[in-house]
Copies of this chain bind each other. A is one copy, B any other.
Amino acid sequence: MRRSGSGPSTDAPRGETVGYRPLYRQVYDTLLRRLADAVWQPGQLLPSEGQLAAELGVSQGTVRKALDALTADSLLVRRQGRGTFVAEHDDQQSVFRFFKLRPDADGGGIPDSRVLALSRGTANGDERERLDLPRTAQVVRIERLRSVAGRLCVCETISLPESLFPGIAELSLPNTLYSLYATRFGITIGTARERLKAILLPAREAALLEMPEGTPALEIDRVAMDLEERPVEWRLSLCLTQDMHYLSVLR
């Protein structure tokens, strides 16, 4: 691992005011690249800290700091006595990382999904804006209904750039899309930005959710980003909140 600042100039001294990048950050980037390129698959055991340190030519403490940062970003999972693993975000527990709707009563279980429609077309204005796409870009749209504990509660439309997810329209879609993105297309969702509004259900969505038109609902406008913070999915969800709520924990 070279101990240099970033940028094209070689052997720039570390003392440069601009462009200084700590060693552990460079290690972080190196490992992140391997994760983003799916060199290491979800669930896989990474080499030990000592092995990574030897391979990269840095001390174990520096590798540890990079691994800790990746763990804090929930890209890795560390288990004392066993090793460091690539995080799996399709676990029963991890479904809830991006699904914040909870039954008012405790419990509830895993959300269920049913695809209503699947189509392809040219990106519209909203899709181009959310996904940062050129005017001629093609997108795949998925419309589906979701239930929790047998109760219909979400109607959503998902838009994906076809360039990033070639042939996804021909696959049978699982309940948890994000694990499909990771395993079939090498795209790991790192963060998501959600904008929430209270709206009244339009006639069409009301019928799908088997509720009267004009029922209040929570609209969630979500853009999901990959590990390099590029937008890769846009999702517009209408959620019933009569027996459910959206949980947000602020720190």
Contacts and interface: CB of A to CB of B under 8 A. Distances in A.
B250 A198 contact: no
A93 to B, nearest CB: 15
A12 interface: no
A195 interface: yes
A103 to B, nearest CB: 11
A247 interface: yes
Contact of A199 (B216, B246, B251): B216
B249 A191 contact: yes
Contacts of A190: 251
Given A199-B216, A216-B200, A216-B216, A194 B247 contact: yes
A165 interface: no
A196 B73 contact: no
B193 A249 contact: yes
Interface size class, chain A: 20 to 34
Nearest to A241: B197
B73 A195 contact: no
A98 interface: yes
A241 B246 CA distance: 16
A212 to B, nearest CB: 12
A232 B221 CA distance: 32
B198 A247 contact: no
Contacts of A239: 198
A217 interface: yes
Contact of A198 (B191, B198, B251): B198
A245 interface: yes
A181 B77 CA distance: 38
Interface in A193-222: 193-200, 216-219, 221
Interface string A9-53: 000000000000000000000000000000000000000000000
Interface string A80-123: 00000000000000000110100000000000000000000000
Given A195-B245, A196-B246, A197-B244, 10 more contacts: A97-B250, A100-B248, A191-B250, A193-B250, A195-B247, A198-B199, A198-B216, A199-B216, A200-B216, A248-B248
17 contacts: A97-B250, A191-B250, A193-B248, A193-B249, A193-B250, A194-B248, A194-B249, A194-B250, A195-B245, A195-B247, A195-B248, A196-B218, A196-B241, A196-B247, A200-B216, A246-B248, A248-B248
